[in-house]
Amino acid sequence: HFLPLILLVVMEGWGITREYHYLEKLKTWAEAQSYCRETFTDLATVDNRDENNKLLSVLPGHGNFAWIGLHEDLTKWKWALGNSEFNNIHYSNWKANYPNNKMLKQICVVMTKSGTWYYFPCCGTFPAVCYYEEYKTVY
């Protein structure tokens, strides 16, 4: 049996603990999302540069790309969790000249080991980064 390689980074603040987990097994974006939702919370969401760097720290040196939770449905970009709309104004780390969706099909986003974001057709197979989020009461 194949056991997935999982690397972990824990981020804490404001009563929220977010753990990033690297999934080495190659999956389509939908398969990765399904696995992440069954095992953790969802595919990784990135809200700022600090989170991008922490997520990057779980990517091993031997992989070029890993799915994160951002995808486009031909009308707008969305994060997987909660289907919330993505807005480049808050934070993004796109490769130069991205996004441009010249492929004209449903596309999903990968992070590279340098931390930049690219997109590919969602049917491609890559490792993924999942996250687990836990809300704690802070007094």
73-119 pLDDT, tens digit per residue, is: 667 778 787 655 555 546 666 666 666 655 556 789 999 888 888 88
Global pTM reads: 0.76
What pLDDT sits at residue 50? Answer: 87
Antiparallel, parallel or unpaired: β 65-72 and 42-43: unpaired
Give residue for tokens 């091993």: 60
Neighbours of 17 (CB within 10 A): 13
Question: Where does residue 138 rank: exposed (0-12), middle (13-18), buried (19+ CB within 10 A)?
Answer: exposed
Q: Amino acid letter at 20? A: Y
Q: Which of 58, 32, 28 is nearest to 122 (CA)?
A: 28
What pLDDT sits at residue 94? Answer: 62
Give the architecture (CATH level 2) of 8-135: Roll (3.10)
40-80 pLDDT, tens digit per residue, is: 999 998 888 888 888 888 888 666 899 999 988 667 778 78
DSSP H helical ranges for the chain? 29-39, 49-56
Domain ranges of the chain: 8-135
